[in-house]
Amino acid sequence: MGKVLLICSGSGGAGKTTFAVNLSIALAKQGKRVLLFDINVGRRNVDIYLGMEDRILFDLGDVISGLCKLDKAIIPYDLCDGLSILACPQYREIEGFGAGHVKALFEALRQRFDVIVTDCPVSIGTTLRVFSSGADSALLLTVPDHTSVRNAEALNEKLAALGIEKRFFAINRIDKQYSGTGSIPGINYIARTVQLPLVGMVSEDPAIHIANNSGMPVVLDSSTDMAMRFEAIAQRLDI
Ligand X SMILES: Nc1ncnc2c1ncn2[C@@H]1O[C@H](COP(=O)(O)OP(=O)(O)O)[C@@H](O)[C@H]1O
DSSP for 154-169?
HHHHHHHHTT--EEEE
Query: Which of residues 17 and 142 has its CB atom nearest to Mg ion in the complex?
Result: 17
**Which of the stretches 27-35, 100-108, 175-183, 204-212 binds ligand X when contact is defined by CB under 6 A?**
204-212
Tell me the closest approach of the beta carbon of residue 128 to ligand X, in angstroms. Answer: 13
Closest CB to Mg ion: residue number: 17
- The Cα–Cα gap between 119 and 121 comes to 7
Query: Which of residues 45 and 137 has its CB atom nearest to Mg ion in the complex?
Result: 45
Q: What is the dihedral of CA 171, 177, 180, 181, to 10 degrees?
A: -140
Query: Which of residues 86 and 114 has its CB atom nearest to Mg ion in the complex?
Result: 86
Residue 100 binds what, of ligand X, Mg ion, none (CB under 5 to 8 Å, by partner type)?
Answer: none
List the interface residues with ligand X, window 166-195 (CB under 6 A): 172-173
Q: Are 236 and 230 in contact (CB under 8 A)?
A: no
Residues 6 or more apart in contact with residue 35 via CB below 8 angstroms: 2, 74, 83, 84, 85, 86, 109, 112, 113, 115, 116, 117
Element (H, E) at 171: strand 166-174
Residue 9 binds what, of ligand X, Mg ion, none (CB under 5 to 8 Å, by partner type)?
Answer: ligand X
- The Cα–Cα gap between 173 and 165 comes to 26
Q: Are 49 and 83 in contact (CB under 8 A)?
A: no
x/- binding map, residues 113-152, to ligand X, per CB under 6 A? ----------------------------------------
Query: Which of residues 3 and 173 has its CB atom nearest to ligand X in the complex?
Result: 173
Whole-number CA gyration radius for the chain: 17
Residue 202 binds what, of ligand X, Mg ion, none (CB under 5 to 8 Å, by partner type)?
Answer: ligand X
Asked whether position 9 contacts ligand X by CB under 6 A, the answer is yes
33 phi/psi in degrees, rounded to 5: -85, 115
Tell me the closest approach of the beta carbon of residue 40 to Mg ion, in angstroms. Answer: 6
# chain residues binding ligand X, by CB under 6 A: 17
- Site residues for ligand X per CB under 6 A: 9, 12-18, 45, 172-173, 202, 204-205, 208-209, 212
